[in-house]
Structure 1
Amino acid sequence: MACQIYSRVVVNVAGICERTLWIINHHAAGPGRHESLAGELADRGWLVKLFASSFVHNVFIELKNYPPGCHHLNEIERGVDRVWIRTPPYYDNSLSRLVNHLYFTCRVARLGRALDAPEAVIGSSTHLCAGLAAYLLSRKHNVPFVFEVRDIWPQSLVDIGAISKYSPLTVGMGVLEKFLYRKAHLIISVLPGGKEHIAQLGLEDKKVVYIPNGVDLAWYDRCTREGCLTPEQAALFRRLKGWVVFTYTGAHGYANGLETVLKAAEILHRAGIGGIHVLMVGDGPAKAGLVKAAAERGLANVTFLNTLEKSQLPIILKNSDGCLFHLRNSKAYRYGLSSNKLFDYMAAARPIIAAVEKAPNTEFARFGLHVPSDEPGALADAMLQMAGETPGARKVMGERARAYVEKFHDIPVLAGKLAEVLESLKKSV
């Protein structure tokens, strides 16, 4: 790796110049939406440059070793130009995180000015500064600006109580949000209700398209075929043979409300109901408290595993009987969900119990059970109900979930839709 940025025109085997696209996503450090979409577009003849910070949010680690004086690195992965940006570290939601965001924005804007022009620039939230960097570069190169909304800032931060509705930071972000919506040639909403939010701001919603999150099923199936349990994991599932295992994977944070899952397991335990086990995989700020609470309550029907590589999750889910999804009740989800966790569960062809205020989609009842969030009794009843189904009935529910995700959320399907809207954008601008 060298401390440089490649600016090049790529010609494919047919002698045709590849179409170029830039994606700016501060938090695209690991496997996820943009890595998968960029790889799929590259396979279809696009040259995609993906800008991301190499400092990983939540786990607070630096992925890259930069030479002295170097502030960015360039790598090629699956035909995608990966541009890693070195940003100042932070370890909480203090001012240092804001500094990290602003540094990323300035660095990307500076680097992008020196490169050959792409055909379009996508700036993806969560934070709005990524959108600002994309807008500035689109103006510099006179190309369309696409703003992708994955989390509605600042409204979602207000909804979860992270910031005050009247704080200067909220007001400033609100001004920037509306500015980016107005200036974007195209707005991509990951949430099904994104158009509704933009309309409520009194802005034009005709340029909003819905492209949800998804899962790379080819990659997922390969991990399932080639993966194997560790000796400790294999011993755990041998011990639980004959039990119905419900698995939760992902963050153990405030928004996930996993105390409700723990209380549901406690209800089953206190009632003397055996044969049901809850497996909780992941980490986060609430993890230590959950582990302590489970031990103090003597919950032998709950097991915790540390965070695993994403490639290890398919084999864990394959050995599970059902999957758990819970989010604390919050106005932040009023515009719907597009949770990668749910799509991973569906890819595993496992039935799902979703404890959220609104069912994840209109067909959810065909492949899962929906109960309100923050209600341990309802969640315990749902686990008891699903455990009471025959293995064959659970298999049918899981197969329906898999069919749904294949149709609507497989990465090639989503990449095709993205390519289509970018093509139409080129014709209209």
Structure 2
Amino acid sequence: MNIWIFNHYAIAPGGSGGTRHYDLARELVKHNYNVTIFASSFSHQERKERYIPEKDVKWKEERYNGVRFVWIKTPEYRRNDWRRVANMLSYTVQSYILGKKRSEKPDLIIGTLMHPLAAFVGCMLARKYKCTFYFEERDLWPQTLIDLGKVSSRNPVVWMLRKLEHFLYRNAKRIIVLFDKADRYVAQQGIDTGKVLYLPNGADLDRYNTDTLLSKDLERVFASLEGKLIVTYTGAHGIANHLDPVLDAAGILKNKDSRVHFVMVGDGPEKQRLVERARQEKLTNITFVPPVKKEDIPTILLRSDVGVISMQDAEIYKWGFSLNKMYDYMAASLPIVLLCQLDETPIETSGAGLKVSTPQQMAESLQFLALHRTALKEMGGKGRAYVENNHAWRKLALRLMDVIEQDIPRRNVSQAQVQPVQTLQNRERKEYNV
């Protein structure tokens, strides 16, 4: 079975950010699937060229534990301006051209919507090769943009995105969604929900079995916090991540409880503003840490006491949510304090932590956990059990494989050669100048 995945922002081990498709693909490879991920070589999380530093190389192939990545060199950008649009268009054009030139034929193409053009490329190539197409709608565009207040529902761009969304819905054999109630959203668009496959984010539980050494700077941070209740946030620092309430809680606790200390790991467009706000308000109980590679996240969480998440009060969340960081926290047996206005969240149903509605309640909950360390262990254990049962990548991959086998029986697949699994340290590399 030969599968191509088009995800502009996919990353491999050693990068910063979510590794959804690598984690899924690695499990598929174990079952003799051949998986190729087409991604940009420019890191969106780190805002730098990561995979093709050579000036004269336009694209290259690398293999990580049997998963093949085709890295495509795209223009750099720093903000959400015209340069980022140029980056998207460059990926779109180049990935389509490279897909057309490949010698092997795919049996299945998955186009993922981090921006809709990557999914559109997947759809067009599936037509060319007359193979099965799955549309993965990770964000409900354009509804997410509307509900987060970024654009008006009457904006012409919204009309265009809606048309593209419906086009992808109609042409997909399956619509993969990450939110548990997103089938209702699809139904509202007049699409048969029999196409919908709920495949949320997950966690690689094996990564959370060992505490390894971190960088010298991070080791110093954790050494300085011995005896504190370490409250950690990992992930993007953007408007959608709604991190001001976390700083509000830190401000409330600054003079009330010296046992609680916040560690904020990651980067994003709001990072510098948040750092400056903490400096102006003299929030000495919060430490900002640069983005780290995905492999360091388990150790950071294993050395923490509580994971914190803050969500906007936005209409889009009525369809559910699937946050990588939430499953990472649970995999590390880390209790979660979740600030949101939603009912029946996984935190409540699993008993994996505490849901709060205001920064004041967040501060009070953290004070409670600082006093009741046994509650930390109990909540953390429930979170671990929840993620083992519902969000382990092994189980999610099996769910995907069951559907693929229904749609593409083995007798109908191409004879593309399945490459042997290789270690990251001994990865294959091909470089191309096109």
TM-score (norm 1): 0.89
Instruction: State the partner residue of 1:419.
Output: 401
Which SS does the other structure have where 1:206 is aligned?
Answer: helix
- Cα distance in 2 between the residues matched to 1:67 and 1:383: 48
- 1:68 is displaced (CA, Å) by 5.9
Give matches, 1:29-428, under 5 Å: 29-31=11-13, 32-65=19-52, 70-115=57-102, 116-221=104-209, 224-225=210-211, 227-270=212-255, 272-358=256-342, 359-361=344-346, 364=349, 366-372=351-357, 375-389=358-372, 391-427=373-409
Note if contact 2:46-2:291 (Cα within 8 Å) is conserved in structure 1.
no
Query: Structure 1 252/67 Cα, relative in aligned 2: closer, same or farther at 3 Å?
Result: closer
Q: CA deviation at 1:230?
A: 4.0
Q: Equivalents in 1 of 2:223, 2:56: separation in Å?
A: 52
Corresponding letter in the other structure for 2:222: F
In 1, Cα distance between equivalents of 2:286 and 2:122: 45
**Structure 1 230/103 Cα, relative in aligned 2: closer, same or farther at 3 Å?**
closer
Question: Could you tell me how far 1:110 is from its partner in structure 2?
Answer: 1.9
- Answer with 156-165 or 174-183: which moved more: 156-165
Deviation at 1:335, TM superposition (A): 1.4
Q: What secondary structure is seen at the aligned counterpart in 1 of 2:346?
A: coil
> Cα–Cα, structure 1 residues 365 and 118, in superposed 2: closer, same or farther, change >3 Å?
closer
Residue 186 of structure 1 contacts residue 425 of structure 1 at CA under 8 Å; is this kept in 2? no
CA deviations 1:128-170 (Å, max 9, x no partner) are: 1111111111111111110011111111112222223222221
Residue 217 of structure 1, CA deviation: 1.4
How many Å apart are 1:63 and its aligned residue? Answer: 1.7
Does the aligned pair in 2 maintain the 1:126–1:152 contact within 8 Å?
A: no
In 1, the alpha carbon distance for the partners of 2:268 and 2:100 equals 38
Q: Distance in 1 between matches of 2:50 and 2:258?
A: 43
Cα deviations across residues 176-204 of structure 1 (Å, max 9, x unaligned)? 00010011011111111221111111221
Deviations 1:33-55 (A, max 9, x none): 00111111111101111111111
Which deviates the most, 327-336 or 120-129? 327-336
Q: Which amino acid letter does the alignment assign opposite residue 371 of structure 2?
A: G
Asked if the contact 2:52/2:59 (under 8 Å) is kept, the reply is: no
Amino acid at match of 2:307: C
Query: Equivalents in 1 of 2:336, 2:51: separation in Å?
Result: 37
Q: Return the letter of the residue paired with 1:156.
A: T
Unaligned runs of 5+ in 1: 1-18
Q: Please list the CA deviations of residues 54-74 of structure 1 after superposition, one character each: whole Å capped at 9, or x if unmatched.
A: 112243211233666643211
Distance 1:66 1:246 in 2: 36
The alpha-carbon distance between structure 1 residues 309 and 206, as it changes in their structure 2 partners (threshold 3 A), is same
More displaced, 343-352 or 241-250?
241-250
CA RMSD after TM alignment: 2.0
C-alpha contact 1:51 1:82 (8 A) present in aligned 2 = yes
Query: Distance in 2 between the 1:176 and 1:66 partners?
Result: 34
Amino acid of the structure 2 residue aligned with 1:424: Q
What SS class does the counterpart of residue 290 from structure 1 fall into?
Answer: helix
Relative to structure 1, the CA distance from residue 180 to residue 379 in structure 2 (aligned partners, 3 Å threshold; closer, same or farther) is same
What amino acid is aligned across from residue 376 of structure 1 in structure 2?
P
The alignment-based identity, stated in percent, is: 38
**Cα offset, 1:369, TM superposition:** 0.2
The 1:265/1:201 distance shift into structure 2, 3 A limit, reads same
CA contact (8 A) 2:79 2:269 kept: no
Contact 1:321–1:351 (Cα < 8 Å) also in 2: yes
| Alpha-carbon spacing, 1:122–1:387, altered in 2? closer, same or farther (3 Å) | same
The one-letter code sitting in structure 2 at the alignment partner of 1:303 is T
- Residues 218 and 380 from structure 1, CA distance in 2 versus in 1: closer, same or farther, beyond 3 angstroms? same
More displaced stretch, 285-294 vs 396-405: 285-294
AA matched with 2:390: F
Matched to 1:134, the amino acid is G
Q: Distance in 1 between matches of 2:117 and 2:345?
A: 29
Q: CA deviation at 1:75?
A: 1.6
What letter corresponds to residue 269 of structure 2 in structure 1? P
Q: TM-score, structure 2 length as denominator?
A: 0.88
Comparing 199-208 with 101-110, greater Cα deviation is found at: 101-110
Question: How far, CA to CA, are the matches of 1:184 and 1:392 in structure 2?
Answer: 49
